[in-house]
Structure 1
């Protein structure tokens, strides 16, 4: 049977089980088993899934006294035949008692199948065990979850191991057994799409492994992979591993979804129990004003436009329309990751089914949301896995399919190519404070090995691919060139540092010629470290780190003075008009204009309508609307923080901001603020209300700081992610001859610019010019400040101001 090429896979496992059934049934009868006994198959044998070298798990059931020699008359022929046997002799009550103490024994009994003897005895066992399992599910399922987690810790993730354990590793056959056990509780079930096929593929590989090695091994060793592939008719060992990895990911993702569902169900049951307890004691204080949630209500908290949090997951808001909002998958993913959540299974399925492809080039928001997702660090991983499980990643990045599940036959690498790329982005997320363009660092980290899916040198192939990808993402030529440079040379720093003489001027010349500028050098240094640390412990050490850092320091010394800061842009005619008006009237002059990259902009340029409203209030647009705000006002202290605070009160996030000092008519300096803002979620504020609040804040009748504090105190605290701490530095003296430049790099958050402005005002300095950028989830700002007399700050004063801003940002 095992040699017959016509009988393979599940049919062979079933036939092998049936053959074993006949053999054991014959032994049972030949042993003279009396009435009141039954022979029962349990575990994998009970499921009828025997591999060529599987153990036989058998239970001899009995009701009354039993001849002590009866079991031996059954077991000894099995041992003599060379089969591995796991056996037990018990009554139904004894089997239940053992199951109550031993979770593994209980799991095996869930698959009990009658072989011979009294079928009523087997039926009684099955009924009792299933009833016990369902009754004790609230206790047993958390225990089973801990068992699965401990097994994953010991054996790793099947989908990333070069020599995976097909049974015990995360995503292996043991997890399929756990999913079936969860389904038997009737509390939850796994997503079934592709699950049976994935389990069958792993079982087929296990069968071939048993036949190739002649042993009951579960580890797919390197030396066996070619033979196993040939036995299965697969092209080569790499193709075999990709199939194994894809199957394991399907099982692992189904496990994640199912365990989250179990946690929600058990939590709901516990809450019901507490609610019943409170109803039994009506004077325990539960009632109006206690914050208790009414029965039947579902708490939903907004995360982003079209995305809310519910039951610990990110789900679509009731009014979300994926078909009319192609950015929604990325927005939902980014919002979930930044909140430390994952996207619900039903939401990902709906997004995959309904969302349209992104236009080319991508809208600005799509690019920003991708960067925000990657910038979430570790919290990005489960969200990325959810999107990938439904094919959304390959839809966003078609070149991803070539590296997906691609093994790396190198002992240094811990991950498949695709997982290494996202792990590198995770490492890079912790380094965003080291570079002026965190968005470019994160995208380069995600794509640096994308060329490994193509022939030839992967760095050269990757440069070509990343130029195309960056253009489709909507990066301009300068940023595209930077990404191409980073991908092409992501190995240059470490190769040069470890293979060339660092003291040779030619070595430094090589690096400076490659990078060209100090910002490029900073990006390449961070990418090099992220790539190496994501590869594995053998790829990065303190010695390598010191060599690379030394080379970077020498190259930076050569490039010192080439740091660039945003240049002032000449004011437009409208900006000049506002500045003249403010200078002449000595009062604020304000202009607001709504804009959208989608097909609709309000007929009068006003702010009426929400970001997803069309001209009729119902047709969705492809890009949320934003606001361009221009404010000209005679110079006064605290202006930056006040305006930023008003915007935060209206839940407007600052995407870009500029502040310049003008003197258009010689009547005294006027500050010109140019902002690009967007609604955090929900509808944009009415223009009249925003204007009124700005004027009230400027004349002192609206205490912005107090209002923000009250709102923050009243809002429920939401768990978030750990982010790199903010960094506030004083730029080198050559950065500006007329002002001191403070650079602030921090995680973007509501009210961030307000806190910075208040700190600068409290330090007694004037903000002459400011350049504010929000890149994904990171803020990268430069403030040109002077003392009260308009002079650059002394070194000690500049350091004190930087410390004050750092403290204000926490």
Structure 2
């Protein structure tokens, strides 16, 4: 097999000539993608054929390419998968010498080689024992030597595969599932494995193997293009890294995108996700068909016995169970009834989807394609039946996901909701997020479905959940853009003006509760009044509370906890009181707790710090086991400078994560001593392991306050070993002043990369700026920390605008 395009490059058939020609081919700009892979395979064929001739191969031997090389799909750093096939007539020593003369030149060039030496009988026997070997042999292709010997082996292996399909295909399905469990779903991963992850190249190969069995076939539309795009991305990744890697790491994505001529890394990920989604959907459909065929085959002997060959000739009757108007269940799928007329029934796509999801059935490929091809568009606004069908679909819980994916695969979702196109396959460059934007919206609706009994308007909750991040496809604040889009879509869906306003409000403020609860002082009346003014009504507050939980649960495990849930519930209760006409209490009038007063008295009596630890373990939602929310740490000591950075530094040294901190001066009766005592109420949790003992914390705090414990130096040592992601520089810290957030203090918000001692460094900067910290509220998601501090002048008054701006600059400079 000679490639005329590269013949002039291979006149020197030795290793150096092949290496030079290979290098020229890989650096060419005019021949990327399939042409380059084919040319590289043919160039390699020519070189290996020359090696085979030069080695003096005896008759009855053949060099056979298998796997990806057999398919002619060589990427720049692909392994060479080779089988030296012989008919057994030559003695073992001759075959071994031939193998050495073939393998060693390949190794000398530094090429990865997966090799074996077998007779046809040995190859078939090994394939029967090892599924991966059999899959590789399905693509066997002769490179040199006895072509008839290689062709006969491939014919025999294909026959074996088809005969063994009822046993082998379930094994292959299990292998694909195990690999997906291990490597994740390519279409949602920030750093996907293009080969091993679900929807990747291994799954595309599995679909080819299913088709070769003649038992079932994959949907062909778009599959070849999807496979090509994944291979192109792998080629560019190999060239960008110079390594045989299939993992598309963050630090390589810009270079890979440039190598493919794409705009940026996000464009690259969207293309990869689209391709993976096509492969995943084709896999779902194909494996369902395999299961159906195998089930039908296993039932035939029993049916023949029951029917005795009479009536229908032994064929089982086709059962159709009605699900909805125009929709029936048949053979484990929701299909269109024989009487269905999509061209006359614009609601049928949503009705069929809702019926399938409610019944927990997949929507058949034939039905979805017929609906996509012939269904009449819905009028705007939608009729009530269409709106109710959408709500029913969203309220089906987990069963919604595969039905929604089927609609998306055939373009029906973007036809129903045109703005969906901007969020489709859009990556979220935040490791806290598990899903792409579009799948996150569906997952949020799934989570919201379990919360519908907590609200008076489940329909508004489900639609708001589906639309809450719809603005992420637009520039600027996605909540602001989302409000406008949600208003338009809710109107299109057919909600009345009042309901449209509620949906738009909930979408606009879907982050308000969790951000306020974790970053603001809930005892400050201004905090509660601000949220009440934004939400407006008790009904909207109820929906927003449920959406906040559903959104966080659908984001990922780091986004929700019992601690966050308790803070949000506390805020909701306070806001509900204001919306009902109550006045929030003034924090200045609140008396210290009995425990705070006790340790304050002890600190004033001894003149030393006093510490008390109290565990809080409320039951986690929907769980029989308690989930630790954190530990309350009370610290009291006579008021003095440097307390906040000292305590924060000691906690960091002991690997305690700070979730919230409140500082207050407690005025004690004059007969007890020298004046006010500073009481710090912290909520902390251990990064790992058990909590340190209180006496150890106190001893280090005393040393920090008297200067004998150099906290900055100790934290600097820790900081050098703190894990950072290679090639992904952290954005610079940002410090801002929140205007009108409190009447009692100035609110400063710090956004920075989370690291040990961050609050300690902030506290030192504030001490240096001569301001007093009333409270601190810490929120951490992944590697990002948001610390909100309520500060005053030493006299207890809020800072002026100029003073606040100067303090923000000081803190930002200290963190930079």
Aligned counterpart for 2:47 among listed residues 18, 23, 28: 23
The alpha-carbon deviation at position 111 of structure 1 amounts to 0.3
Aligned counterpart for 1:307 among listed residues 299, 311, 327: 327
CA distance in 2, matches of 1:46, 1:515: 63
CA distance in 1, matches of 2:478, 2:432: 17
Deviations 1:433-473 (A, max 9, x none): 11010000000000001111111111111111111111111
Aligned counterpart for 1:177 among listed residues 171, 184, 205: 205
Match of 1:489 in 2: 509
1:363 lines up with 2:415 in the alignment: no
Aligned counterpart for 1:343 among listed residues 363, 378, 388: 363
Match of 2:277 in 1: 249
SS in structure 1 at match of 2:319: coil
Aligned counterpart for 1:207 among listed residues 205, 228, 235: 235
SS in structure 2 at match of 1:415: coil
The alpha-carbon deviation at position 277 of structure 1 amounts to 4.8
Aligned counterpart for 2:555 among listed residues 524, 535, 539: 535
Point out where structure 2 has 5 or more consecutive residues left out of the alignment.
Answer: 1-24, 583-816
Q: Summarize the alignment of residues 26-425 of structure 1 with structure 2, pairs less than 5 Å apart.
A: 26-64=50-88, 65-66=91-92, 67=94, 68-278=96-306, 295-425=315-445
CA distance in 2, matches of 1:96, 1:293: 38
The alpha-carbon deviation at position 149 of structure 1 amounts to 0.6
Point out where structure 1 has 5 or more consecutive residues left out of the alignment.
Answer: 563-810
Deviations 1:188-218 (A, max 9, x none): 1111111111110110110000000000000
SS in structure 2 at match of 1:69: helix
The alpha-carbon deviation at position 517 of structure 1 amounts to 2.5
Alpha-carbon contact 2:134-2:157 (below 8 Å) kept: yes
CA distance in 2, matches of 1:482, 1:462: 13
Give the number of equivalent residue pairs.
554
Q: Summarize the alignment of residues 581-600 of structure 1 with structure 2, pairs less than 5 Å apart.
A: none
Match of 1:504 in 2: 524
1:519 lines up with 2:539 in the alignment: yes
Distance 1:503 1:470, change over 3 A: same
The alpha-carbon deviation at position 296 of structure 1 amounts to 4.5
1:551 lines up with 2:579 in the alignment: no
The alpha-carbon deviation at position 499 of structure 1 amounts to 1.0
1:4 lines up with 2:28 in the alignment: yes
Alpha-carbon contact 2:304-2:314 (below 8 Å) kept: no
SS in structure 1 at match of 2:149: helix
The alpha-carbon deviation at position 560 of structure 1 amounts to 5.1
Alpha-carbon contact 2:479-2:508 (below 8 Å) kept: yes
Deviations 1:73-110 (A, max 9, x none): 11111111111000000111111111111100100000
CA distance in 1, matches of 2:79, 2:162: 27
Deviations 1:407-430 (A, max 9, x none): 111111111111111111011011
Match of 1:438 in 2: 458
The alpha-carbon deviation at position 117 of structure 1 amounts to 1.2
SS in structure 1 at match of 2:27: coil
CA distance in 1, matches of 2:98, 2:494: 77
CA distance in 2, matches of 1:561, 1:145: 61
Q: Summarize the alignment of residues 397-796 of structure 1 with structure 2, pairs less than 5 Å apart.
A: 397-559=417-579
CA distance in 2, matches of 1:560, 1:293: 73
Alpha-carbon contact 2:469-2:482 (below 8 Å) kept: yes
Deviations 1:497-548 (A, max 9, x none): 0111112222222222222332221110000011111111111122111111
CA distance in 1, matches of 2:417, 2:505: 20
Deviations 1:12-40 (A, max 9, x none): 00000001111111111222111111110
The alpha-carbon deviation at position 350 of structure 1 amounts to 0.3
CA distance in 1, matches of 2:573, 2:97: 81
Q: How high is the TM-score relative to the length of structure 1?
A: 0.67
Distance 1:508 1:561, change over 3 A: closer
Alpha-carbon contact 2:303-2:314 (below 8 Å) kept: no
SS in structure 2 at match of 1:342: coil
SS in structure 2 at match of 1:86: strand
CA distance in 2, matches of 1:561, 1:519: 15
Deviations 1:107-132 (A, max 9, x none): 00000001111112112211111111
CA distance in 2, matches of 1:117, 1:508: 82
The alpha-carbon deviation at position 551 of structure 1 amounts to 1.1
SS in structure 2 at match of 1:399: helix
The alpha-carbon deviation at position 557 of structure 1 amounts to 3.6
SS in structure 1 at match of 2:26: coil
Deviations 1:682-735 (A, max 9, x none): xxxxxxxxxxxxxxxxxxxxxxxxxxxxxxxxxxxxxxxxxxxxxxxxxxxxxx
Match of 1:659 in 2: none
The alpha-carbon deviation at position 559 of structure 1 amounts to 4.1
CA distance in 2, matches of 1:325, 1:133: 45
Deviations 1:256-288 (A, max 9, x none): 1111111111111111132245568x9xxxx99
SS in structure 2 at match of 1:2: helix
SS in structure 1 at match of 2:215: coil
Deviations 1:141-200 (A, max 9, x none): 011001001111111111111111111111111111000000001111111111111110
The alpha-carbon deviation at position 293 of structure 1 amounts to 12
The alpha-carbon deviation at position 294 of structure 1 amounts to 6.9
CA distance in 2, matches of 1:38, 1:239: 44
Query: What RMSD, in angstroms, separates the aligned Cα atoms of the two structures?
Result: 1.7
The alpha-carbon deviation at position 554 of structure 1 amounts to 2.2
SS in structure 1 at match of 2:56: coil
The alpha-carbon deviation at position 342 of structure 1 amounts to 1.2
SS in structure 1 at match of 2:382: coil
Q: How high is the TM-score relative to the length of structure 2?
A: 0.67
CA distance in 1, matches of 2:367, 2:74: 38
